[in-house]
Amino acid sequence: MKNLEDFIASGILELYVLGETSDEEDAEVLIMSSKFPAEIAHEILEISTALEYLALENAVEPSAKLKESVFSKLREIEHGKTADRKAPVRPASEIPRLTYFSKIEDYTDWFSPADLIMPEGFEGRHLKVLGHTAEMTTMLICATAIEGEVHHDIYEKLLVIEGTCNIIIESKVHSFFKGDYINIPLHKWHDVIIPEGTICKAILQRIPV
């Protein structure tokens, strides 16, 4: 997970304000906004001010579309929504937290079979935000490979929908299949190994500590 300074420097917020981010980038913005709500909202306002200043410097009236995009993004951050995405059957606030007892059917109100079909140009990982609140972000992740990492400030939980994966936590291998619940421990390096030629699809929740 990027720190706040690196995240802001990456330029993703400028693209987010202009509506040019992917589902995966939207998910990253929402995750960071749950950790740093005031800072992210401030950056979005700063970006909008800079864009308006640039437009005025070039004798171009800032478009209504740009202004609405800025306000829309701020509303998304404030209310935990992705306003430009198709609304789910039930609100994000009703998405249950993943536990050992969770079942796939507990989450089908927030995704459809079409969401499990890989988009054109799929390059090994696809994220779709299912819901976002200040307490957690819930996503659908489809991947052929996931880079190893360690979490110090966010809990990560998964529920396998299709496929299989092996998760290596401190040299110990854990195998997971359809319907299995995965709880990634804090402060421990983990690698996710997905069998070659297959795609693992899962519900992913990230919960700030």
pLDDT tens across 187-202, in order? Answer: 999 999 999 999 999 9
Q: DSSP H helical segments within 80-133, as ranges? A: none
At residue 68, the pLDDT reads: 55
At residue 175, the pLDDT reads: 95
Q: Picking from 29-43, 89-103, 128-142, 166-180, which range would have the lowest pLDDT averaged per residue? A: 29-43
Question: How many helices (DSSP H) and strands (DSSP E) are in the chain?
Answer: 5, 9
Q: Which residue has the higher pLDDT, 136 or 67?
A: 136
At residue 163, the pLDDT reads: 95
Mean pLDDT of 50-69: 57
Architecture per CATH, domain 92-208, reads as Sandwich (2.60)
Angstrom CA distances, 178 to 33, 151, 199, 208, stand at 31, 24, 12, 26
Mean pLDDT of 74-91: 53
Question: Does the predicted model carry a pTM greater than 0.85?
Answer: no
CA separation for the pair 175, 180 (Å, rounded): 9
Q: Cβ distance 14 to 58 under 8 Å?
A: no
Task: For the chain, give every domain's residue range.
Answer: 4-79, 92-208
At residue 196, the pLDDT reads: 92
